[in-house]
Amino acid sequence: MALLQISEPGQTPEPHARKRAIGIDLGTTHSLVATVRDGKPVVLRDRQDRPLLPSAVHYTANGVDAVGYEALAQAAEDPHNTLVSVKRMMGRGLADVRGLGKQLPYRFVDSDGMPLIETAAGPKSPVAVSADILQALAMRARDLLGGAIDGAVITVPAYFDDAQRQATRDAARLADIRVMRLLNEPTAAAVAYGLDRGGEGVVAVFDLGGGTFDVSILRLHKGVFEVLSTGGDSALGGDDFDRAVAEWVLQQAGKHDDLSPVQYRSVLLEARRARECLTDAQQVTVNCPSLGWQGTLSREQFEQLVAGLVDKALRACRRTLRDAALDVAAVDHVVMVGGVTRTPVVRQQVQAFFGKPPLVDIDPDQVVAVGAAIQADVLVGNRSGDDLLLLDVLPLSLGIETMGGLVEKVIHRNTTLPVARSQEFTTYKDGQTAMALHVVQGERELVDDCRSLARFELRGIPPMNAGVARIRVTFQVDADGLLGVTAREETSGVESRVTVKPSYGLSEDQIAGMLSDSYTHAADDKEKRALREQQVESSRLLEALSAALQQDGEALLSAAERQQLETAMQCLRAAIAGDGLPLLRAATDALVALSDPFAARRMDAHIRHALQGQSLDDLTREKQP
């Protein structure tokens, strides 16, 4: 007699069967996909046994002609239709992309401020190009794993903002990939090294890829990965090293302004080849037939060319350690991620900075995909979630605009994700029935110095006196770093919400400068905030006193007293219009002192009016149940 297997509702009839989960490292120059087999993460290779897929797509009039190595081979011959390094354009506006200049030799089309790239197959968005790359990776995974993919974890730079993360999700959706989570690249690397070594302590993840640089400080303890701080530069990577070499080549060849896009692309490709060769060789022959030039580049010359770029990365490391309230000596391990970390000068400078040799046991090109595969295996249900706990952090503070153009931070940077925080606000004017809410991102004290994320309105607030309404604003950031904001008036229950999906990302200057500006202008911002807060408070005093004078001024004040108050009010208005905080505080204190007797008389008069015609017995009966 055979046994009949019965499956519970919602469960597979084959409970022993493993689900197919993959981790994808969607990189600027190269991408790859990994999975977990027999309990071990492995990178999936193509039919030529190559683990990497160049992040390049070549288009013809018929659509996608090639993805990967075959597409990259077309880059020099057909640069306008061979799209590479599109990760740098993900979630960015047209102005930001055009600012990259000849780094991207493409013809752009404006689509409501979003960049579309003209190709033989028609205009293509960076999201669509990324979707074609993801589709090629998913196809490789389906072929090797023998079926449909149940879920994927895709990695993104830690400094990707909301727009760039959303663009990555949109690309995956176009590629028909179910994204279980977006995982920060440095965290993915820590997952790979942490699980393999069972290590504990503080880890610095130095991630220098083709187009972005990230550094994260993590604390590892008993399987818990907590990100203490993140930093980096989303516009620093191997592409910049290649451009430094290319500029040297152009200088040596005496060529600059008269270069065509085809010539410049060929120079960039030769510069990349030279950089990679210098990882093992002391010098390399650089041959640029398109320029009619050939020369020799030594490793020493190369290191001089890229010294400023390496210093830029180390400055970001210093800032990130400071954010984590740690010094260099507290770091136990340094993990190297990204193909550019093979460069000897990078490894030497990182070792000198941290005072210890970096970990390079796992291929730096593959370590991020390995970590993503491990996390995907957990999230899809093949392993217990207790095996791994990831605690990412918010890279920049989120807040809301208050009166005076001030920023009230609701969730501070480096807060562990996912997170939800609420704060109560109130109305500024009597009878106010609507409120405009402005969501911002950044570290500065004034709205003008931060980045605007979204605006929405809350309507239907019951008319009340200023300061009586209770508006509860809730910020919720999910594990992928995507933000939702809800505003609710507590007495009536009216509610409004917005999901923040910005149409473009931060510019390069904004990303690089937001944190440094917050330190540079800290003292100045503190003074400006104090001034704005006092201006708002003084304006509220003037508004309340003006209303009181209009209502009770003639009955309760003599002409001389009223004149004194109005003179003091005029002085305060002048002080508000100025920029001197001590003078403003003095003028406010003077008006408060003059208006206190008037306020006391108004209170007495209102109490007498309320009690008029009532006896003590009446009041006693009102208090009895």
Active site residues: 25, 87, 185, 207
Between CA 434 and CA 268 the distance in angstroms is 56
Contact partners, residue 535, CB within 8 Å, separation at least 6: 404, 576, 584
Contact partners, residue 233, CB within 8 Å, separation at least 6: 159, 212, 213, 312, 313, 316, 511, 512
Between CA 503 and CA 90 the distance in angstroms is 10
**How far is C-alpha 404 from the geometric centre of its chain's CA atoms?**
26
Contact partners, residue 42, CB within 8 Å, separation at least 6: 34, 35, 36, 373
- 456 sits in which H/E element: strand 451-459
CB 198 within 8 A of CB 331: no
CB 302 within 8 A of CB 245: yes
Between CA 229 and CA 323 the distance in angstroms is 6
Cα-Cα-Cα-Cα dihedral sign, residues 302, 303, 308, 314: positive
CA distance to 237, 479, 501, per residue, from 309 (Å): 9, 32, 32
Between CA 539 and CA 550 the distance in angstroms is 17
User: At 121, which amino acid appears?
Assistant: A
Here the tokens at position 43 are 């990178």
Between CA 527 and CA 535 the distance in angstroms is 12
Q: What is the DSSP secondary-structure string of 308-373?
A: HHHHHHHHHHHHHHHHTT--GGG--EEEEESGGGGSHHHHHHHHHHHTSPPB-SS-TTTHHHHHHH
- Alpha-helix runs per DSSP H in 86-125: 94-98
Cα-Cα-Cα-Cα dihedral sign, residues 180, 185, 187, 192: positive
| 179-184 and 151-156 strand pairing | parallel
Main-chain phi, psi angles of 10, to 5 degrees: 85, -5
